[in-house]
């Protein structure tokens, strides 16, 4: 509880809650030492693969700016929309992350500082490239959570190496780590556009 000058208690404007690395790849990457991805207060975020908003809610605590939260499953989008009703800085976008034109319309031309993607699909790299081509520039921090098993059942290290080669054609790789032991067979990349 926070107290005002006359000692009357008031609710804090934001509640900081425990952020669990087992439930959030973004948090796991910070716990593994990538502290530069803690979003600043003025970060505008495009978040692809928002699910019910577990991680989105923590990002909403940290930035005063807006988070465009894209999710394509109705089952996940309903709790996300309910969360957005309680927060002033979450804009849920019920859409396939591949539908750039729809996302563009929903964002009303707002420029982003951070592009984050956590989409476990076979074409996750292509989705990232498409979105960064449209929404990112050289100053955008691009955060990519890779789920190797969604691309191939082969050895995860091999998929990781193949994806790294693909990413190098489009991005500068600033950091890349395994998210083990929080998320097995997952990797995390901090990228910027070439
Ligand atoms: C691993 S969950 C994301 C968890 C979330 N990032 C968090 O930390 O709270 C992946 C989400 O991506 C969504 N998804 C999968 N394919 C998608 C697509 N093409 N467009 C948008 N969302 C997609 C899934 O429905 C799922 O909710």
CA geometry: angle 128, 134, 137, nearest 5 deg: 90
The pLDDT of 48-68, averaged and rounded, is 97
Q: Which residue has the CA at smallest separation from atom 25 of ligand 1?
A: 73
Q: DSSP 3-state helix, strand, coil percentages of the chain (rounded to 5)?
A: 35, 25, 40
Task: Identify the residue whose C-alpha is closest to ligand 1 atom 2.
Answer: 51
* CB 112 within 8 Å of CB 45: yes
| Protein residues with CB under 6 Å of any ligand 1 atom | 24-25, 49, 51, 54-55, 70-73, 76, 96-98, 118-121
Per-residue confidence (pLDDT) for residue 15, from 0 to 100: 57
Q: How many A from CA of 63 to the centre of ligand 1?
A: 21
Residue 9 alpha carbon to ligand 1 centre in Å: 39
Interval between CA 171 and ligand 1 midpoint (Å) = 22
Residues 114, 91 contacting (CB under 8 angstroms):
no
Between the CA of 125 and the centroid of ligand 1 the distance, in Å, is: 14
* Ligand 1 centre distance from Cα of residue 117 (Å): 8
Q: Residue 34 has what DSSP assignment?
A: -
d(CA 12, CA 138): 36
Q: Is the pLDDT of residue 14 over 90?
A: no
Q: What is the mean pLDDT of residues 110-124?
A: 98
Q: Can you give the pLDDT at residue 138?
A: 97
Atom of ligand 1 nearest to the CA of 147: 1
| d(CA 47, ligand 1 centre) in Å | 10
User: pLDDT at residue 182 above 80?
Assistant: yes
Q: What is the mean pLDDT of the chain?
A: 93
Render pLDDT for 63-109 as a digit per residue (tens, 0 to 9). Answer: 999 999 999 999 999 999 999 999 999 999 999 999 999 999 999 99
Banded pLDDT at 16 (limits 50, 70, 90) = low
Residue 65: φ, ψ to 5°: -90, -170
Q: What is the pLDDT of residue 17?
A: 84
Residue 151: the pLDDT is: 97
Q: pLDDT above 90 covers what percent of the chain? A: 91
Pick among 3.90.280.10, 3.40.50.10420, 3.40.50.150, 3.40.50.620: CATH of 25-193: 3.40.50.150
Residue 13: pLDDT over 80: no
Atom index in ligand 1 nearest the CA of residue 54 equals 9
Look-up of token digits 């973004």: 26
């Amino acid at each position: 509880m926070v107290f005002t000058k006359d000692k009357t208690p008031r609710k804090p404007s934001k509640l900081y809650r425990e952020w669990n690395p087992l439930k959030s790849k973004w948090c796991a990457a910070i716990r593994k030492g990538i502290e530069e991805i803690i979003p600043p207060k003025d970060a505008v975020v495009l978040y692809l693969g928002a699910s019910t908003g577990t991680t989105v809610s923590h990002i909403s605590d940290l930035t005063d700016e807006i988070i465009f939260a894209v999710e394509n499953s109705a089952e996940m989008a309903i709790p996300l929309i309910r969360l957005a009703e309680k927060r002033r800085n979450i804009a849920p976008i019920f859409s396939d992350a591949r539908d750039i034109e729809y996302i563009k319309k929903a964002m009303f031309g707002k420029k982003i500082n951070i592009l984050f993607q956590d989409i476990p699909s076979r074409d996750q790299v292509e989705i990232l490239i498409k979105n960064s081509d449209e929404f990112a520039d050289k100053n955008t921090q691009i955060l990519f959570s890779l789920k190797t098993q969604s691309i191939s059942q082969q050895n995860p290290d091999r998929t990781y190496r193949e994806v790294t080669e693909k990413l190098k054609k489009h991005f500068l790789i600033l950091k890349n780590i395994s998210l083990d032991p929080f998320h097995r067979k997952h990797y995390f990349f901090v990228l910027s556009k070439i």
